[in-house]
Chains A and B, each alone.
Chain A
Amino acid sequence: MKYDYTINVSLNRPEKGKYILPLLKGLFYTLKQLFTKPITIEYPTKKREVSKRWRGLHRLKTDDKGKLKCVACGLCAAICPSDAIKVCPYEEEGGERYPKEFIIDEIRCIFCGFCAEACPMDAIELTGVYDYVDYNRSDFIFDISKLKTPEEFIFKGK
């Protein structure tokens, strides 16, 4: 004999001709399942909670007075591996330095979170918003006004 061994797929498998009871058991089990609550989360109306550390759309944080924390140092743009951040600094005479332009291309972004880690002022963070949809590529290029309120872009269906 070439093959003198057997492989048992399952040791407590019913023998041949003894399938009736397992089949009835199966019927009983499916009937029981019919009266349990579905575990589906109806996506656009109900959503699963994301982790606190979830890396979604960016937010530019503001301080108590509503001013941007960002000082336009450009570290985030420098560390960004996908070259998605563009910062344009501006400084008035004797005043504070702030970004005149802060653009994140959310299509280029790989949501690694390096920008948030590199930021010395803790001015940028990644939020839990993960389902932004829109019609044009240009809609995904976020400027300061869009970056301040990423919660507005949560997909609510339709």
Chain B
Amino acid sequence: MIEFLLITIIKALVIIGITFLIVAYSTWFERKLLGHIQLRHGPMRVGFHGLLQPIADGIKSLFKEDVIPENADTPVFLMAPMISLSAAILLLSVIPFGPPIYIPIIEREFTLCLADIDIGILFVLGISTIGAYGCMLGGWSSGNKYGVIGGLRSSAQMISYELPLVLSVIPIIMVSGTSSLVEIVQSQAGLWNVVKCPFTFIAFILSVICGLAELNRTPFDMAEAEAELACGYNVEYSSLKFALFFIAEYMHMFIFAAITTTLFLGGWQGPEIPFIGAGLSGLFYFSIKTFLIIFIFIWERATFPRLRYDEVMQFGWKILFPVSLVNILFTGLWLLTFN
């Protein structure tokens, strides 16, 4: 029992530590990529090609003055970034990062997944919605009109895009016959879910679009909309609290990329690389696929203009929602005819 606890705690710490590193460097990667797309260099000064920039940013936000506005509802104002970040961290517990890995020195096998729960998908979808509370409460409690509008927008948008997201994931559950994330990955050993049938491919596209809206990323970044809302729900936040929001946002991005990899792109599946064993090569494939999804997110951010708010809502309810419903029906028909 104590051994189990110890292993779990160590695993959790390792996962959180690595994820924070990934989050820090995905901000660097985003700035660098956006820069090069816009014919700039991006960060160049701190370290080789700005490699120490995330650390410098972290130190800077750590030492900034922490301002709580006079009109703010202080306890809620303090709680909002914590909700945002803890919802994101909670999601890390169910992601299967790789196949079981055997460490010869201590002669023991470890699963690269903190918890393999039977309702993995439901857990992910449920907890990721809690992140919306962070934005909403943060905007509402800061006593600022931009904050309120940003919070309202983000909560309305997240709620309306949560539906098509859930519905677009259902075909995967139908095809795999399970809702445990590990088993879903195992079921994709021969063929990834994206290419298993045409309707899972549609589901993939739908879920990426809904994910963009969930993450408040560019074509749907209503909550932040720099031009109209100053900064949206986090206008009044400064110092470490702002950093928490920022980290939560990027962690959500990483987690969404990881979940998409797990559900659609076959998770850790791939031809085994010789000499490093199944565990490490699985980890390698997982990170490559996740990186690719993150790359696509940043790439489209550099390309697409922001939609208008009513267009976003219309797109969500009038197009994505019915399409994902019909998609479930057709997946069922496909399974009925071919299995």
- A residues with a Cβ closer than 8 A to B are 23, 26-27, 29-31, 33-34, 36-40, 42
Contact = CB atoms under 8 A, between A and B. Distances in A.
A26 B303 contact: yes
B44 interface: yes
B33 interface: yes
Interface in B16-46: 33, 35-41, 44
28 contacts: A23-B303, A23-B304, A26-B303, A27-B300, A29-B303, A30-B37, A30-B299, A30-B302, A30-B303, A31-B299, A33-B36, A33-B37, A33-B38, A33-B39, A34-B33, A34-B37, A34-B299, A36-B39, A38-B35, A38-B36, A38-B39, A38-B40, A38-B41, A39-B39, A40-B39, A40-B40, A42-B41, A42-B44
A106 B302 CA distance: 44
Interface residues of B, number: 14
A34 B41 CA distance: 11
B304 A26 contact: yes
Contacts of B304: 23, 26
Interface of B: 33, 35-41, 44, 299-300, 302-304
A85 to B, nearest CB: 38
A23 B39 CA distance: 20
Contacts of B33: 34
B280 to A, nearest CB: 30
Nearest to A33: B37
A29 B300 CA distance: 11
A80 B38 CA distance: 44
Contacts of A38: 35-36, 39-41
Contacts of B302: 30
Nearest to A25: B303
Contacts, number: 34
A148 to B, nearest CB: 34
Given A34-B37, A34-B299, A38-B39, 7 more contacts: A26-B304, A27-B300, A27-B303, A30-B37, A30-B303, A34-B36, A38-B35
Nearest to B305: A26
A40 B37 CA distance: 12
Lowest 10 A-B CB distances belong to which pairs?
A: A30-B303, A26-B303, A30-B37, A39-B39, A34-B37, A30-B302, A33-B37, A38-B41, A38-B39, A40-B41
A40 B40 CA distance: 6
A36 B40 CA distance: 10
Nearest to A44: B45
B105 to A, nearest CB: 42
Contacts of B40: 38, 40
A30 B300 CA distance: 9
A156 to B, nearest CB: 15
A27 B38 CA distance: 13
A79 B8 CA distance: 82
Nearest to B301: A30
A103 B311 CA distance: 66
B23 to A, nearest CB: 22
B335 to A, nearest CB: 28
A126 B4 CA distance: 77
B322 to A, nearest CB: 15
Nearest to A37: B39
Q: Most chain-B Cβ atoms within 10 A of its Cβ — which of A31, A34, A36? A: A34
A30 B35 CA distance: 11
Nearest to B35: A38
Contacts of B44: 42
